[in-house]
Amino acid sequence: MTNTLPKPQSSVHPLQSFIDRLLRGEAMLPHSPTNLLEVVGILKSYGMVLDAYSKNLIYIAEEQFLVLFPFFKYFNGEVSFAKLLKHWNHDRINYEYAEYCMRTMLWHGGGGLDAYLDSPEFKAACEVAVQAKIKTNLPLRALHRLFPEFLPEQVRQSAYYSGLGQFWTVMAEIFLTLSDRYDNGEIPDIPAVVKYIKDGLVAAANVPITYSVTISGQKFDIIPDSLGLTFLPDTAIPYVEAVFFRGTPFWGTVSYNAQAQQISPDQSRFTYGALYADPLPTGGVGIPPTLLMQDMRHFLPDYLHDYYRQGLRGEDDLHVQITQSFQKSMFCVTSAALQGLLPHSAETTVPDEQAANQAFLASWMDRLMTSRIHVVQLSDR
Amino acid sequence: MMLSALILIPLAGAIVTSLWPQEWPADRIRKIALAAQGISLIWVGWLATQYNITLPGMQFVSSLAWIESLGLTYRLGLDGLSLPLLFVNSLLGAIAVYSSPVTIRRPRLYFSLMLVISSAVAGAFLAQNLLLFFIFYELELIPLYLLIAIWGGARRGYAATKFLIYTAISGILILGGFLGLVWLSGASTFDYDPGFAQTLTLVEQSVLLVALLIGFGIKIPLFPFHTWLPDAHVEASTPISVLLAGVLLKLGTYGLVRFGLQLFPAAWSEFAPWLAGWAVVSVLYGSFAAIAQRDMKKMVAYSSIGHMGYVLLATAADTPLSILGTVMQMVSHGLISGLLFLLVGVVYAKTGTRDLTVLRGLLNPERGLPIVGSLMILGVMASAGIPGMVGFISEFVVFRGSFLAFPAQTLLCMIGSGLTAVYFLLLVNRAFFGRLAIRPPSDAVEPDLNLPRVSWSDRVPAVVLAIVIVALGLQPVWLSRWSEATIVALRSPIVELAEASTPAVLCETSTTFPCAL
């Protein structure tokens, strides 16, 4: 007789081992001496780069406010011929990467910042600043008259410039101090890395996110302190969602065939973020991961650079190796973020709380099923 | 002696590398072989500076009596047909030695055999005695057999034996043709003389020509005598494939022009339409077969069959421009096929496969073979006749020279040129674009692919060939200037007769080649 009853579904999540690891305070990345070396080393160089990115983002938000042709936005206010030559020579920080991330956050939205930027309060605050800006700028005034939504949209973008800049300021500090602690021998393994990052995130969780611009000597609040936007829910979580998980289907991030409709029309189902990125892109220049890897290459600690040189292709595939290490480190950061966001303490013995923690992590693991989580478990590069 | 040096230098290298009493490391033997090939190349260059391009006949002729009772004379000569081929022989000989691994087994035997081949091929291109040509033609056979049979792939025994049987039959037919020619003409010597067959009837000429056509057709190879070639290429190591495609096949096409066309002009003109048709079949068969291949090396091998068909077409057309096209196509194919086989060799060495169903994304900038891939794209573009490279101008001259004589056949052969773009685009698209892979996709979790580093010593031979291909494409006169005077003189009396009826006023207002068309 044919059994027509539905098969009982397994209650064990396919990535249950990772859920268990996270609940034990470990990371999704297994510990090994090389993993530790790679993660801390790459986070050191990432911290250096993030520091530069964050300063530039904040500079653009505050000093290039409603400058429609910001030719020197990457110069941080120090325009000189020598710096111009360096810029043209491309021997510089690729600030474009920071803008890609900013636009990715703006596009995917989420969190209090996104909600606020669509509110009447923002509209009102924005309009005050815009009016102050266009008072002495006739072309801008004409533009605002003709297209009243254009300048507010620019201000929304500026708000994200500032928000991401403030987020990265905190993260750069965490990663650089992590490196210092590692150099002092205080970070013995990968769980210690995750714990350090988690503690940093938790400590900064309530850091306020604000944004104001000064026009003709007068200060205008775009994101006022009174709004109560804070680091963790309003920038960190949207950032993780937008950059680690969803991302944007740039060539080089992943290989895909858009004509075969391999790109979902629903952006919430995007899986082109850092945790899914293919370290072996099909080539091309100007794509975000390439830019970030180029930047990090300048700040690699010696021990990590030596490790890369020992690879099969030595320096030839440095960017690929950096991408692999970066991806490992992002699994650590994601681990820290998920542990920090657990609805209940990981050590709880209350069954309902344990179930809630399990459900929370399982929902994230559902999304990581197609990520590179299995590949980073391998010891081969 | 000036010409004998081209035979003796590699031969001396072969003797030194094989018989030197002291034990030498493989690297030193390779360097000696490379030096011998390098000196040969320089010698060809020096000969070119001494060569008078305005003189149509043989130059630097040297003759020594050898076995007079047999009519065998050691008689050498150089003209515009052989000079470019000698250059290709020396250049590819040097490249083949350079691209041979220093870790090769039995290096003394390996490198000495390679040098013997170079020596024999040079002798064949220079020989002005039919028996002497045959001796050199056969002399390269055994070394090549051994090079495939000892250093070849898994089925090397089969491939080498097949090669040996086919080319031995080729040799027998050519010898038969030469013996018949001298016997029927009543000559007392085998010294090369275009007037040999004047006393022969058309039937006698035809029979002898058929023997030579099949003999050289096997060597070229032309359909349906081609089956030894893909097997030989697949089993041969990369340097041997370079020699085989770049130099040894040219013995067949050279023989076709030098002996088939020149010795039997009357029969040739009768056979010409059929030969042009044969060329079409060979070109289209080679091209379609190449499209169907999944092994990169076999694809390049079938491509050779197709491209050698152009030489038959141009020889059949027998106009000055088409004969110039044969020389240019021989050189062009030698360089381009040499480049492609070198690159396929690098791909195989680094990935362990040539299977186009699994290779992907080799142009990957950091973990693939981007420079090799770029050179491959250049090579296939040259082979497909993209302007700016020698493949274009040689095919253009072949088609331009053949069109008035055989328009339909020429147009059909041009389809073959288009098909070259088809199969090589398939090759490039499959192997070099997309995500890097050297194995079929699977559900297993695997680390990111990491191919071994490609050293510049792997790339240098291909870069040298690419430079020559582009240089001759941009300045084709550097290739054609050596042959123009010779080709006017080489033409068969039939064509000369036809040209004599061309209104003189046209000739006066035109250059030599358009007038002759």
What is the C-alpha separation between B501 and B142, in angstroms, rounded?
49
Show residues of chain A in contact with B451, CB under 8 Å: 312-313
The whole-number pLDDT of residue B196 equals: 80
List beta partners, residue A219: A214
What is the C-alpha separation between B424 and B383, in angstroms, rounded?
9
Q: Do B450 and A319 touch (CB under 8 A)?
A: no
List beta partners, residue B67: B72
User: Sign of torsion, CA A253 A257 A262 A263?
Assistant: positive
Three-state SS for A110? Answer: coil
DSSP collapsed to 3 states, B299-315: HHHHHHHHHHHHHHHHH
On the question of pLDDT at A262 being above 80, the answer is no
The pLDDT-based confidence of A249 (bands split at 50, 70, 90) is confident
Show residues of chain B in contact with A318, CB under 8 Å: 366
The whole-number pLDDT of residue B27 equals: 87
H or E stretch at B63: strand B59-67
User: Sign of torsion, CA B358 B363 B367 B369?
Assistant: positive
Q: How far is CA B285 from CA A133, B268, B273, in A?
A: 74, 23, 18
On the question of pLDDT at B133 being above 50, the answer is yes
On the question of pLDDT at A154 being above 80, the answer is yes
Q: How far is A359 from chain B, CA to nearest CA, in Å?
A: 26
Query: Which is nearest to B101 in space by CA: B411, B345, B374?
Result: B345
What is the ipTM score, two decimals? Answer: 0.78
Q: Give the other-Cβ count within 10 Å of A266's Cβ.
A: 7
Of B433, B436, B450, the CB nearest to A312: B450
Q: How far is CA A247 from CA A52, A238, B425, in A?
A: 22, 11, 33
Q: Do A312 and B453 touch (CB under 8 A)?
A: yes
The pLDDT-based confidence of B130 (bands split at 50, 70, 90) is very high
Of A255, A374, A378, the CB nearest to B435: A255
pLDDT in tens, B406-444: 999 999 999 999 999 999 999 999 999 888 889 888 888
Q: Do A278 and B445 touch (CB under 8 A)?
A: no
Query: Which is nearest to B97 in space by CA: B247, B240, B300?
Result: B240
On the question of pLDDT at A4 being above 60, the answer is no
The whole-number pLDDT of residue A169 equals: 97
User: Sign of torsion, CA A176 A181 A183 A184?
Assistant: positive
The pLDDT-based confidence of B24 (bands split at 50, 70, 90) is confident
What is the C-alpha separation between B471 and A291, in angstroms, rounded?
37
Q: Which residue in B367, B369, B374, B429 has the most chain A C-beta atoms within 10 A of its own C-beta, making it the best mutation to test that interface?
A: B367
Give residues 321 to 340 of A whose Cβ lies within 8 Å of B.
324
Query: Which is nearest to B398 in space by CA: B339, B465, B331, B340?
Result: B331
What is the C-alpha separation between A99 and A104, in angstroms, rounded?
8
pTM to 2 decimal places: 0.86
What is the C-alpha separation between A293 and A45, in angstroms, rounded?
10
Q: Give the other-Cβ count within 10 Å of A53's Cβ.
A: 27
pLDDT in tens, A71-110: 999 999 999 999 899 888 887 899 999 999 999 999 999 9
H or E stretch at A369: none
Q: How far is A346 from chain B, CA to nearest CA, in Å?
A: 30
The whole-number pLDDT of residue B491 equals: 61
The whole-number pLDDT of residue B498 equals: 45
Q: How far is CA A177 from CA A28, A48, A186, A365, B242, in A?
A: 22, 11, 11, 29, 59
On the question of pLDDT at B176 being above 70, the answer is yes
The whole-number pLDDT of residue A145 equals: 95
Three-state SS for B154? Answer: coil
Check if A209 contacts B (Cβ < 8 Å). no
Identify the residue whose tokens are 């016997």. B183
The pLDDT-based confidence of B185 (bands split at 50, 70, 90) is confident
pLDDT in tens, A6-49: 554 556 889 999 999 999 989 999 999 999 999 999 999 999 99
Average pLDDT, chain A: 90
Q: How far is B435 from chain A, CA to nearest CA, in Å?
A: 6
Domain residue spans in chain A?
16-377
Asked if residue B36 lies in contact with residue B13, where contact means CB atoms within 8 angstroms, the answer is yes
**Which of the listed ranges A16-30, B446-460, B480-494 does the model predict with the highest average pLDDT?**
A16-30
Q: Do B364 and A313 touch (CB under 8 A)?
A: no
Show residues of chain A in contact with B446, CB under 8 Å: 375, 378
The whole-number pLDDT of residue A254 equals: 59
Q: Do A280 and B453 touch (CB under 8 A)?
A: no
On the question of pLDDT at B90 being above 50, the answer is yes
Q: Which residue in A280, A293, A312, A318 has the most chain B C-beta atoms within 10 A of its own C-beta, making it the best mutation to test that interface?
A: A280
Identify the residue whose tokens are 């007079």. B68
Asked if residue B53 lies in contact with residue B482, where contact means CB atoms within 8 angstroms, the answer is yes
Check if A309 contacts B (Cβ < 8 Å). no
On the question of pLDDT at B503 being above 50, the answer is no
On the question of pLDDT at B283 being above 90, the answer is yes
Check if A378 contacts B (Cβ < 8 Å). yes
The pLDDT-based confidence of B517 (bands split at 50, 70, 90) is very low
The whole-number pLDDT of residue B467 equals: 97
On the question of pLDDT at B302 being above 70, the answer is yes
| Identity at A267, one-letter amino acid code | Q
What is the C-alpha separation between B287 and B291, in angstroms, rounded?
6
Average pLDDT, chain B: 90
Show residues of chain A in contact with B364, CB under 8 Å: 280-283
| Identity at B37, one-letter amino acid code | Q
Of B361, B447, B453, the CB nearest to A282: B361
What is the C-alpha separation between A201 and A199, in angstroms, rounded?
5
Chain centroid, CA B273 distance in Å? 24
On the question of pLDDT at B512 being above 60, the answer is no
Show residues of chain A in contact with B361, CB under 8 Å: 280, 282
The pLDDT-based confidence of A289 (bands split at 50, 70, 90) is low
Q: Give the other-Cβ count within 10 Å of B499's Cβ.
A: 17
Cα angle B410, B411, B414 (rounded to 5 degrees) comes to 90
Q: Do B435 and A378 touch (CB under 8 A)?
A: no
The whole-number pLDDT of residue B280 equals: 96
Q: Do A255 and B445 touch (CB under 8 A)?
A: no
Q: Do B367 and A282 touch (CB under 8 A)?
A: no
Check if A365 contacts B (Cβ < 8 Å). no
What is the C-alpha separation between B195 and B181, in angstroms, rounded?
11
Residues of chain B whose beta carbon is less than 8 angstroms from a beta carbon of chain A are 361, 363-367, 433-436, 445-453
What's the residue count for chain A?
Answer: 381
pLDDT in tens, A187-210: 999 999 999 999 999 999 999 999
H-helix segments, chain A: 16-23, 33-63, 81-88, 95-108, 111-117, 120-134, 138-146, 150-183, 190-204, 231, 237-239, 288-297, 302-309, 318-341, 351-368
The whole-number pLDDT of residue A279 equals: 82
What is the C-alpha separation between B466 and B473, in angstroms, rounded?
10
- Residues whose CB falls within 8 Å of the CB of residue A119, separated by 6 or more in sequence, listed in order: none
- Give the CA dihedral B96, B99, B105, B108, nearest 10 degrees: 50
What does the DSSP assignment read for B469-491?
Answer: HHHHHH-THHHHTTTHHHHHHHS
Burial class (CB in 10 A: 0-12, 13-18, 19+), A349: exposed
- Residues whose CB falls within 8 Å of the CB of residue B5, separated by 6 or more in sequence, listed in order: B43
Of A313, A314, A374, the CB nearest to B445: A374
Would you give the DSSP letter of residue A285? S
Q: How far is A190 from chain B, CA to nearest CA, in Å?
A: 20
Show residues of chain B in contact with A319, CB under 8 Å: 366
Peptide bond before residue A249 is cis, with ω within 30 degrees of 0: no
Q: Do B367 and A319 touch (CB under 8 A)?
A: no
Peptide bond before residue B239 is cis, with ω within 30 degrees of 0: no
Asked if residue A287 lies in contact with residue A252, where contact means CB atoms within 8 angstroms, the answer is yes
The pLDDT-based confidence of B506 (bands split at 50, 70, 90) is very low
Q: Do A280 and B449 touch (CB under 8 A)?
A: yes
Tell me which chain B residue has its CA closest to the CA of residue A253.
Answer: B435
DSSP collapsed to 3 states, B404-438: CCCHHHHHHHHHHHHHHHHHHHHHHHHHHCCCCEC
Can you list the pairs that B155-158 forms with residues at least 24 positions away whose Cβ atoms lie under 8 Å? B155/B231, B155/B234, B155/B235, B156/B235, B156/B236, B158/B231, B158/B235
For B151-155, B243-247, B271-275, which range has the lowest pLDDT when averaged over its residues? B151-155
| Identity at A119, one-letter amino acid code | S
For A76-80, A330-334, B113-117, which range has the lowest pLDDT when averaged over its residues? A76-80
Check if A313 contacts B (Cβ < 8 Å). yes
Show residues of chain B in contact with A320, CB under 8 Å: 366-367, 448
pLDDT in tens, B205-245: 999 999 999 999 999 999 999 999 999 999 999 999 999 99
pLDDT in tens, A115-137: 999 999 999 999 999 999 999 89
Range A278-285 average pLDDT: 62
On the question of pLDDT at A239 being above 80, the answer is yes
| Identity at A19, one-letter amino acid code | I
Asked if residue A166 lies in contact with residue A61, where contact means CB atoms within 8 angstroms, the answer is no
Q: How far is B101 from chain A, CA to nearest CA, in Å?
A: 20
